[in-house]
Homo-oligomer: A and B are copies of this chain.
Amino acid sequence: MTYTVHEIAKALDCEAFGNIDIVVERVAEPASASSTDLALLTNPKFADGLSQGQARVAMLWPGADWQAMGLEAAIIPTRGRYAMSGLSEMMDLGQHYAPGIHPTAQIDTTAEIGADVQIGQFVVIGPRARIGSNCVIGPFCHIGADCDLGDDAFLRDHVSIGARVSIGARFRAQPGARVGADGMSFVTPEESGVEKARESLGDQGEVHSQTWARIHSLGAVTIGDDVEIGANTCIDYGTIRDTRIGNGTKIDNLVHIAHNVTVGHDCLFAAQSGIAGSTVIGNNVVFGGQVGVTDNTTIGDNVIAGGGTKILTKVAAGQVMLGYPAVKMDTNLEMYKSLRRLPRFMKQMAELQKSVSKRGSND
């Protein structure tokens, strides 16, 4: 798919300059751009790269002097990073899955399939599942019994949607994403060491061996509109009520969302983060990579947690958290700076102690 500079600028609602009829085929970084590429250069820091490539056209930062850069045309958005969203959507080369419904797909006769749906090789769709219109379902996907998948979903290959899962419009799932695995919920006949250690903050009392009885997941998963989940990410069923993901929430690769968790709208969870059972996450919450949140707690709206943060208690709305255990980021930095100085500080104090005790003996 190729576009003129004019077409791109119009689609992105940006200003265009110079020869706006030039056709571009691809987006490239300045240094590796060919003469048919649109160089992406929205950060002046990387301007030097332009001279190493062949670009005639670039998307530039506001105020950039495109002519001085030797370009023939330029597109200048007000917020370059945001313009990348529309531009990348136009230029996406896609997966080229086979069109239509592949003859190898196994679709239960009671499933309802919407209009203009694309279903790949070896897909399995269970009884009474409902697939909205314009969905693309990649090879090896399994859509379980009684599922509801909204319009315009795009499922890459090997995605699992368990029975009774309900998903809104424009869902995206990367390869190997799992929605509707059973929750990890086990119970011992008598109170367990874990229950005791939690109450006592560390003492599990007298220990005797017990086996685990399974609590089956009777709840399902309900996912809102415009949700995206990453490769090999897992979202478990709820125990009684559904596990819930709000509209517009985006989840990266290898993330774990446990049973009964409720996630608000427009959250962003980076890779390998994990949320334990029954925790409630507010709206617009952002987690860096490898963040962990304990079970049965509450994270307020607009909370941000930096990479690796382990949240062990409730967090109020709007806080920026870091560390293990998580504290406010500025507190964490202050604690850390002190810890950094601690070995030297202890030596100084030992000197002080010596001098005091010496002076004491001299009194």
Taking a contact as CB atoms under 8 Å apart, the answer to whether A201 and B330 are in contact is yes
Taking a contact as CB atoms under 8 Å apart, the answer to whether A286 and B254 are in contact is no
- How far does the alpha carbon of A92 sit from the alpha carbon of B272 in the complex, in Å? 30
Q: Does A174 contact B (CB under 8 A)?
A: yes
**Stretch in contact with the other chain, from A2-10, A14-22, A67-75, A156-164:** A156-164
Number of A residues, CB within 8 Å of B: 148
Taking a contact as CB atoms under 8 Å apart, the answer to whether A89 and B214 are in contact is yes
Taking a contact as CB atoms under 8 Å apart, the answer to whether A29 and B162 are in contact is no
Residues from chain B with Cβ under 8 Å of A122 in the complex: 106, 121-122, 124, 140
Q: Which of A140, A234, A288 has the most CB of B within 10 A?
A: A234
Question: Contacts A142-B157, A352-B353 hold; do A290 and B292 have CB atoms under 8 A apart?
Answer: yes
- How far does the alpha carbon of A162 sit from the alpha carbon of B32 in the complex, in Å? 23
User: In the complex, what's the smallest C-beta–C-beta distance from A309 to chain B, in angstroms?
Assistant: 9
- How far does the alpha carbon of A89 sit from the alpha carbon of B239 in the complex, in Å? 11
Taking a contact as CB atoms under 8 Å apart, the answer to whether B268 and A256 are in contact is no
- How far does the alpha carbon of A248 sit from the alpha carbon of B210 in the complex, in Å? 10
Residues from chain B with Cβ under 8 Å of A288 in the complex: 276, 294
Residues from chain B with Cβ under 8 Å of A310 in the complex: 290, 307-308
Residues from chain B with Cβ under 8 Å of A95 in the complex: 126, 144-145, 162-163
User: In the complex, what's the smallest C-beta–C-beta distance from A265 to chain B, in angstroms?
Assistant: 8
Q: Does A115 contact B (CB under 8 A)?
A: no
Q: Does A91 contact B (CB under 8 A)?
A: yes
Taking a contact as CB atoms under 8 Å apart, the answer to whether A231 and B84 are in contact is no
Q: Does A203 contact B (CB under 8 A)?
A: yes
User: In the complex, what's the smallest C-beta–C-beta distance from A46 to chain B, in angstroms?
Assistant: 11
**Interface contacts beyond A96-B146, A184-B252: sample of 14 additional A-B pairs, CB < 8 Å, sorted by A:** A27-B240, A85-B213, A95-B163, A193-B302, A194-B286, A209-B301, A209-B302, A211-B226, A212-B248, A254-B274, A256-B289, A335-B342, A339-B342, A341-B346
